[in-house]
Structure 1
Amino acid sequence: MPPVFSSLLPRLHAARQRLAPLRRWRPTRRMVLWALATPPALLLLYTLVLIPFTPAISDIRKAKTEQPAQVLSSDGKLLAQYQWAHREWVPLGRMAPPVSAALIATEDHRFYQHWGMDWRRTAGAALATFGGERQGGSTLTQQLARNLFPEEIGRAPTLTRKLKEAITAFKIELLYTKDEILETYLNTVPFLYNAHGIEMAARTYFDTSADKLTVLQSATLIGMLKGTSYYNPVLNPERALQRRNTVLAQMVKRGKLAPEQFEALKKRPLRINFERQAEPQGPAPHFAQQLRKWLIAWADDQGYNLYADGLVVHTTIDSRLQAWANQAVARQGRQLQNVADAAWSQRGAWGTGNALVQTLVRESPEYRTAVAKGQTPEEAAKALWADAAFMRALRQNKTRVQAGFVALEPATGQIRAWVGSRDFAQDAFDHVQQARRQPGSTFKPFVYGAAFAQGWKPTDTLVDEAVEINLPGGEVWRPSDASAPTGRAMGLREALVYSKNTITAQLVQKVGVGEVAQLARAMGVRDSKLDIVPSLALGTSPVTLKEMVSAYGTIANAGAYRPPVWVTRIEDRQGRVLQEFAPVAAQQVLPVQAAQTLRDALRGVVDQGTGRGIRTRFGIRADVAGKTGTTQDNADGWFILMHPQLVGGAWVGFNDSRITLRSDHWGQGAQSALPIVGDFFQQALRSKALDARVRFVDAQERDFFGPLRERLRGWWQALLALVPAPSAPPPPRPVPAPLPVPPELPLPSPPEVPPQPPAEITESAELLPLPSSTPSAAPVLPGVVVPAQDWPRPAVRPGVVVAPEDWQGPADRSPSP
């Protein structure tokens, strides 16, 4: 034996002697019992610790009885419901018997015997999982707990999740009967395609209702519950068929189906009749969408759940006015869409030779995807241009006419009608509160209102002459009109009626751009940014339709601003009033006399100017006033009309402001937006929803000699107009202290949205002739850049750069009375 091993033997012998007592040790019975009892005790202790972290009894009661919030119109009609998911609750008695039979036989055949957990099934699932074959083992009650409280319980395959699931299942079993649990389960389980519950699933996959489901249809739907995507009968029909037959076999095994029936049924095809179920939009979907955001914040502050507490929200929307607004937008939208389709389908309009079309192709997701995959920009663009289906879809998307309309009561600020687009399903973007577009000439009343507030009179004159305004950076702004300047004096009322750009540009210089912007904000344009530049007077700063209609409501309300209101009260499910919303006190932001003078001038727009289609086309004889507006290249058409009881306004255009109707006639506000407003008011007046006899009430003149002085002043101005030499403009009025800017609206700010490309104020190589009754005039100097207007352009002479505007009156006529 080697010496090394000889030296180790004594050490090994000593170690053996020390371990001898341990070999003789045997565990006692108490030790064995403690060892066996320790894991269950620890598990029980951990379970007790988890109980406070599971849904409470009150939460389970609320989940079982949750009711969506209901939004009602002012006359009690349902406008919308706010609920967690798209489903319709049906009682267990109204479900076909094969539904519950298939569910219990497949998912939990001892459902009526256990108290939330099936211990045998749980133990079998655990042994199978340890053996490498993962199984769930959850009962229907456990699945319901997971479906009702996904965040509190979780879905991770952990011991903690299973324990929370079991605890919640025991609570559910203590509270409700087996049939109530089964009914709740079948009404809350998801089935893909935004279909929750057996009723929506029956409609989606078989175009029937839950009470008419056959054995095969029931087995197909119940079979999906093991994996809705994997066993989707629309995308994976073979898997769904196999799973359906498995469910039928389980029904035979549990005595729910005869064997001979199974043999006959398993050979039949699926026969899916699929139709995705769209959520009901209601008559005012854009209004409901914007209101939801405000209500969520209100409910959070007050401790309510908007989707479960059964709140009843009473709004200011009038269901009749809303219906007429929907019809007016739909009718005019169809007509304008025909115009757009005809214009953009012409040869060369939508082709590779159009620089705008080339840009749109390069901005498309398909182009970016092709370049990302390795194609050169030229190859990607060429391939897309050659793809007829792509080009057709791009044209339909980009040239889809859009519109917005809103109406409110000027005396209260209550919103009565709201249409955010032509079709909420096609375009959920809200063109009332979200979209910001250039208002064009509809912004001019703020300029004249500021002037009247500073003491200017409607008969005060400015000379219609070429205007040059120096801007920072050495630029020169030269606003002009469709016709050349006449060189004569023109009253402010006439200038507003015929929307003279040269007069408005001079007036804003005398009044002050800052004062105009301040007045616009005070009157209702409170969320959009206004650029303090001279061109603001001609409507170059984008604003929302809601802001403009609210501001015109201030004019109709004799200069008193009221913020828009859309909710009158909120009740709980028992009808108890939780909060009432009284009208906010009016703020006098424009002097009454100035507001009345401005309102009277806007009457002239309807009686004589570009808004006269309200009288001639729609036959409205009520006391109304309004203003049209059109931006450069007819990108945006506007019209706002004021009645003593209601103010309504419409915008028409495209989501991409680079797209237009390609028509100098149809693109103007008097032809695109005015018909929507005229149609709406015509219906409201005919039905007596508005009183045609009501007139604006002007404050009485306090000075006895005031009317006489005004008449003499008018005669004097008319006499000056007959003098050949142009009369000098009146001296500038003293500028009073700035108008105070009222506090912000008590409503939430509109959501941030990607900015829409504004309609640029660009040059136009067109010259518009004057109306036939007007003497010819010298053309406008080249290089004049002005905003667009509303009057049709019957003829064009190339080579002279001007921009259109609203004025259509004779150049040499006297100021309007």
Structure 2
Amino acid sequence: MRLDKIKSLLVPPLTQAWAQLQPVQRLKSLPSLRRPTRRQALLAVAAVPAAFLLYVLVLIPFTPGISDIRKARFERPAQVLSSDGKELAVFKWANREWVKLSEISPAVVDALISTEDHRFYQHHGLDWRRTASAALHTFSGDRQGGSTITQQLARNLYPDEIGRAPTMTRKLKEAITAFKIEALYTKEQILETYLNTVPFLYNAYGIEMAARTYFDKSARSLDVLQSATLIGMLKGNSYYNPVLNPERALDRRNTVLAQMVKRGRLDAARFEQLKKRPLRIDFERQTEPPGPAPHFAQQLRKWLIGWADRNGYDIYADGLVVHTTIDARLQALATQAVTAQGNRLQSIANAAWAPRAGWAASKDLVQAFVRETPEYRSAVAAGTPADEALKHLLANPAFMQALRQQKTRIQAGFIAIDPRTGQIRAWVGSRDYTQDAFDHVQSARRQPGSTFKPFVYGAAFQQGKTPDDTLVDQPVEIQLAGGEVWRPTDEGRPSGRAMTLRDGLVYSRNTITAQLMQEVGPSRVARLARAMGVRDSKLDTVPSLALGTSPVTLKEMVASYATIANAGEYIAPTMVTRIEDRDGKVLQEFQPARAERALPAATTQTLLDVMRDVIDRGTGASIRSRFGIRADVAGKTGTTQDNADGWFILMHPELVAGAWVGFNDSRVTLRSDYWGQGAHSALPIVGDFYQHSLRGRIIDGRARFAAEEESGVFSALATQVRGWFARLFGGKGPAEAPGARPAPRRPALPPPEADVTPQPPAQAANITDASDATAGMALDHGEVVVAVPEQAPAETTDSTAGTAPAPSALPAPPPAAPATTAPGASSAPG
């Protein structure tokens, strides 16, 4: 009855209202105003969660797969081994040492669960109550996080796949991955993985490295206060950094302790005692051990990442085993030689650049150093007048001492290559990787000086010239583009006599080499250098290229000399022999690169024979006299302007090795005309290395370079005619036939001339790849005369060889003790 009464009261007014709306009734849109049916209402209500569920299903393929999760749990970094099975490096993606959950202090786990996820053992990856609470607070303007430990682990393990943007999509992907992790792992495994992967700043990943970094102890030994401090950092590593922000870190630590009390994991009375104690941080950065061949390992890492990407592997997780060409014994000898000679030269540099010696005498240079520092630029950018900023820094003893030590630190590079295979056997990129990680073998480009001259003589011999051909040792003037004249000189004055090409290279005469370059042509020399191994650095095709003014790398030069030792065939240097998986299955083997003919074998034998004399009686004679090496070896020294770069490369049938010595900034030199030369700076490194390698029988002292067979009457007759002609016209006599000799020739001859390369005006700059090398080198030996501009000289000119008798004496040897000279002084013999 009540329902009928309600109808009688409501129907008449509604009918009247409907009648008034009859004109509008005709509109097609009005049927939609009907009351929805129950089915329609249910469908509308179900559409929202259905769409949400569909979106979740669509996201699943874009989350990490189960196999990836397993790999993350059991990742194994690539292991790098030497050719004799010694470990050289382990490629970890982070500085981390995995420890089991049983090896972590229980206080860490209590602090973590109390603070980050107190219902950790009740949920299955997602805490619905905490998520809902966080959502309500966020909607009300008080943004809060609601991630569980498992969700945080998912975000830490897969930042690229999940992302870190504060969006619904990211939270859903994070939750899906968390469910997968919970399905795969036990709670203990999740805690162990989380604590071993979470970052703690200063390249410390995981609780073990964090404990060592901040408290100098293991994770097992952390007490409650230390555990609370580290767990407190998880809310914001930088904001709660106990090193830089100790007050914030202390407050956060006490908050963690309070949460432990709230969750029943710490006694309240104990908390009142602990919260008053200081942090007591014992901070020390944890660095990975560099290993026996750190520069080689860094170059290898770059190559291996590319190989792994192309072949679908992860160098940080798949347990690859990389077998390299490095010989651990030779690597140890090379490191020892570089360290010993570097320390000797550093004592000389310290004396030469003492505060009241060379440092004080180089006022303009020191001020230039100061202006290049970040401290100076920051002061000027902040509004300090330039003169005032300079004066302030010059008066700062600590700053100036650090600057002087940085600029005057001797550096060196060394590499050894097997010429028969191109395999790199030893690689030392600097004196100490921890102090200077810059690689002076492959990354630094420096002027090679006289070590470049064999390319000139090789090109000349390839054109038909012989070691017994002569040129007059006389002043040389070479017209350059732009109207300048380059006058290359040597330490001693020209003798005015004829000198054979053999002696021109043996005694490293710049005047002879410059004349020979004019006959051969810079383009031809540059092409030969590229064919022999200088393939990455740009070579300027100018006359001064003959004296090594185009910067190159040590690796390129040693690879080029390896071409000479390999009978003129270039083989690209290689680092790896094979790669295996974690189970020992060979994934790929690497054979030596294909040999490329760069120089005819006969020409190579001639060049090699002349370079033997460099060691027997020339600028590299101390290899015999000082280090007692009697093996069949050949080589060349090199020194650049002002002794900025010292070079020496030695060839043995089984091993070619070279060293460079200098400073990162080429404006700094040893200030000694004796110690600055390659024969006294770089040669001892190579000599020490070969001496111990031969003594240890790592390389065969009886090995001989392969001889190019000369057979037939005509070849023998040609040799006799050349010898007769040379004797008749005052030459040095017949040259020994190319090929291996039973023992090195060591005739009693005067000491060698200087081996210093003067710079032409077009090559005044000597810039390296080092970060702080910013200037060129002064012109001391090469006199420059401004003339009327003319066209550049032709590549090949008429020979200026003379027939005067060869010089009977050479300049006196260098002094027994180093002579220190002021900057800009002429280089001394050696």
Cα offset, 1:133, TM superposition: 2.7
Q: Does 1:498 align with 2:515?
A: no
Q: Does 1:599 align with 2:612?
A: no
Any conservation in 1 of the 2:412–2:660 contact (CA below 8 Å)?
Answer: yes
Cα offset, 1:205, TM superposition: 1.0
Q: Secondary structure at the match of 1:138?
A: coil
Could you tell me which amino acid in structure 2 is paired with residue 153 of structure 1? I
Structure 1 residues 140-166: Cα deviation after superposition (integer angstroms, max 9, x where no partner)? 110001101112212222222211111
- TM-score by structure 2 length? 0.84
Among 765, 769, 779, the alignment partner of 1:762 is 779
CA distance in 2, matches of 1:617, 1:284: 28
Question: What are the within-5 Å matches in structure 2 for residues 82-121 of structure 1?
Answer: 82-121=91-130
CA distance in 2, matches of 1:269, 1:512: 76
CA distance in 1, matches of 2:629, 2:595: 29
Cα offset, 1:34, TM superposition: 5.7
Partner of 2:428: 419
Q: Does 1:241 align with 2:264?
A: no
- Over 3 Å counting, the alpha-carbon distance change for 1:259 and 1:216 in structure 2 is same
CA distance in 1, matches of 2:277, 2:228: 12
- Over 3 Å counting, the alpha-carbon distance change for 1:755 and 1:600 in structure 2 is farther
Cα offset, 1:580, TM superposition: 0.9
Cα offset, 1:354, TM superposition: 2.3
Cα offset, 1:425, TM superposition: 2.2
Q: Secondary structure at the match of 1:413?
A: coil
Partner of 1:214: 223
Any conservation in 1 of the 2:468–2:731 contact (CA below 8 Å)?
Answer: no
CA distance in 1, matches of 2:43, 2:556: 76
- Over 3 Å counting, the alpha-carbon distance change for 1:717 and 1:498 in structure 2 is same
CA distance in 1, matches of 2:133, 2:469: 96
Q: Secondary structure at the match of 1:642?
A: strand
Any conservation in 1 of the 2:665–2:772 contact (CA below 8 Å)?
Answer: no
Question: What are the within-5 Å matches in structure 2 for residues 292-691 of structure 1?
Answer: 292-347=301-356, 349-351=358-360, 354-691=363-700
Could you tell me which amino acid in structure 1 is paired with residue 189 of structure 2? E
CA distance in 2, matches of 1:548, 1:443: 8
Q: Secondary structure at the match of 2:359?
A: coil
Cα offset, 1:792, TM superposition: 6.7
Any conservation in 1 of the 2:640–2:646 contact (CA below 8 Å)?
Answer: yes
Any conservation in 1 of the 2:243–2:283 contact (CA below 8 Å)?
Answer: yes
Q: Does 1:199 align with 2:199?
A: no
CA distance in 2, matches of 1:197, 1:795: 53
Structure 1 residues 653-710: Cα deviation after superposition (integer angstroms, max 9, x where no partner)? 1111111111111111011111111111122112111122222231222134645643
Question: What are the within-5 Å matches in structure 2 for residues 9-48 of structure 1?
Answer: 37-48=46-57
Partner of 2:195: 186
Any conservation in 2 of the 1:632–1:759 contact (CA below 8 Å)?
Answer: no
Question: What are the within-5 Å matches in structure 2 for residues 42-191 of structure 1?
Answer: 42-191=51-200
CA distance in 1, matches of 2:196, 2:403: 41
CA distance in 2, matches of 1:276, 1:444: 47
Q: Which deviates more, 431-440 or 38-47? A: 38-47
Structure 1 residues 537-569: Cα deviation after superposition (integer angstroms, max 9, x where no partner)? 111111100000001111111112111011111
Any conservation in 2 of the 1:437–1:759 contact (CA below 8 Å)?
Answer: no
CA distance in 2, matches of 1:31, 1:224: 52
- Over 3 Å counting, the alpha-carbon distance change for 1:758 and 1:648 in structure 2 is farther
Q: Percent identity?
A: 69
CA distance in 2, matches of 1:717, 1:758: 47
Q: Secondary structure at the match of 1:525?
A: coil
Could you tell me which amino acid in structure 2 is paired with residue 74 of structure 1? S
Question: What are the within-5 Å matches in structure 2 for residues 725-764 of structure 1?
Answer: 757=774, 759-760=776-777, 762-764=779-781
Cα offset, 1:220, TM superposition: 1.8
Could you tell me which amino acid in structure 2 is paired with residue 354 of structure 1? K
Q: Secondary structure at the match of 1:287?
A: helix
CA distance in 2, matches of 1:701, 1:252: 94
- Over 3 Å counting, the alpha-carbon distance change for 1:427 and 1:70 in structure 2 is same
Any conservation in 2 of the 1:480–1:803 contact (CA below 8 Å)?
Answer: no
Could you tell me which amino acid in structure 2 is paired with residue 698 of structure 1? A
Any conservation in 1 of the 2:448–2:640 contact (CA below 8 Å)?
Answer: yes
Partner of 2:278: 269
- Over 3 Å counting, the alpha-carbon distance change for 1:775 and 1:270 in structure 2 is closer
Cα offset, 1:282, TM superposition: 1.2
Could you tell me which amino acid in structure 2 is paired with residue 129 of structure 1? T
Q: Does 1:291 align with 2:300?
A: yes
Partner of 1:280: 289
- Over 3 Å counting, the alpha-carbon distance change for 1:761 and 1:555 in structure 2 is farther
- Over 3 Å counting, the alpha-carbon distance change for 1:51 and 1:765 in structure 2 is closer
CA distance in 1, matches of 2:825, 2:718: 40
Cα offset, 1:794, TM superposition: 9.1
- Over 3 Å counting, the alpha-carbon distance change for 1:178 and 1:500 in structure 2 is same
Residues matched between the structures, number: 747
Structure 1 residues 34-75: Cα deviation after superposition (integer angstroms, max 9, x where no partner)? 665454333323222222222222322222222222211111
Q: Secondary structure at the match of 1:231?
A: coil
Could you tell me which amino acid in structure 2 is paired with residue 205 of structure 1? Y
- Over 3 Å counting, the alpha-carbon distance change for 1:619 and 1:346 in structure 2 is farther
Q: Secondary structure at the match of 1:652?
A: strand
CA distance in 2, matches of 1:186, 1:357: 50
Cα offset, 1:793, TM superposition: 11
In the alignment, structure 2 segments of 5+ residues that lack a partner are 1-15, 733-767, 784-806
Any conservation in 1 of the 2:415–2:554 contact (CA below 8 Å)?
Answer: yes
- Over 3 Å counting, the alpha-carbon distance change for 1:758 and 1:240 in structure 2 is closer
- Over 3 Å counting, the alpha-carbon distance change for 1:375 and 1:522 in structure 2 is same
Could you tell me which amino acid in structure 2 is paired with residue 154 of structure 1? G
Could you tell me which amino acid in structure 2 is paired with residue 522 of structure 1? A
Any conservation in 2 of the 1:69–1:311 contact (CA below 8 Å)?
Answer: yes
Structure 1 residues 491-520: Cα deviation after superposition (integer angstroms, max 9, x where no partner)? 211111111111111112222222211111
Q: Secondary structure at the match of 2:384?
A: coil
Could you tell me which amino acid in structure 2 is paired with residue 143 of structure 1? Q
Cα offset, 1:106, TM superposition: 2.0
- Over 3 Å counting, the alpha-carbon distance change for 1:387 and 1:50 in structure 2 is same
Cα offset, 1:348, TM superposition: 5.6
In the alignment, structure 1 segments of 5+ residues that lack a partner are 1-12, 724-750, 767-771, 778-789, 809-817
- Over 3 Å counting, the alpha-carbon distance change for 1:589 and 1:308 in structure 2 is same
Q: Which deviates more, 658-667 or 455-464? A: 455-464
CA distance in 2, matches of 1:143, 1:364: 42
- Over 3 Å counting, the alpha-carbon distance change for 1:15 and 1:269 in structure 2 is farther
Structure 1 residues 428-450: Cα deviation after superposition (integer angstroms, max 9, x where no partner)? 21111111111000011111111
Could you tell me which amino acid in structure 2 is paired with residue 603 of structure 1? R
Cα offset, 1:250, TM superposition: 2.8
CA distance in 2, matches of 1:795, 1:189: 56
Could you tell me which amino acid in structure 2 is paired with residue 220 of structure 1? T
Q: Secondary structure at the match of 2:176?
A: helix
Could you tell me which amino acid in structure 2 is paired with residue 415 of structure 1? I
Provide the alpha-carbon RMSD of the alignment.
3.1
Cα offset, 1:423, TM superposition: 1.8
Structure 1 residues 155-179: Cα deviation after superposition (integer angstroms, max 9, x where no partner)? 2222222111111111111122222
Cα offset, 1:346, TM superposition: 4.9
Could you tell me which amino acid in structure 2 is paired with residue 279 of structure 1? E
Any conservation in 2 of the 1:435–1:756 contact (CA below 8 Å)?
Answer: no
Partner of 2:6: none
